[in-house]
Amino acid sequence: MAFYNGWILTLAVLAIPICAVRGRNVENMKVLQFMLLHIKYLYGIKIDVKGWENFPVKEQYVVVSNHQSSLDLLGMMEILPGRCVPIAKRELMYAGTAGLACWLAGVIFINRKKTDDAISVMSEAAQTMIMEDVRVWVFPEGTRNHDGSMLPFKRGAFHLAVQAQVTLNYNRGNNITMA
Q: What is the pLDDT of residues 55-82, one digit of tens each?
A: 766 788 898 887 777 888 898 999 899 9
User: CA–CA separation, 102 vs 47, rounded Å?
Assistant: 23
- Amino acid, single-letter form, for residue 128: T
pLDDT at 178: 47
Does pLDDT of 179 surpass 60?
no
Burial of 92 (0-12, 13-18, 19+ CB in 10 A): middle
pTM metric for this prediction: 0.87
Mean pLDDT of the chain: 87
170: confidence class by pLDDT, cuts 50, 70, 90: low
Mean pLDDT of 81-88: 94
The closest alpha carbon to 172, from 54, 64, 37, 30, belongs to: 64
160: confidence class by pLDDT, cuts 50, 70, 90: very high
pLDDT at 156: 84
Mean pLDDT of 17-40: 96
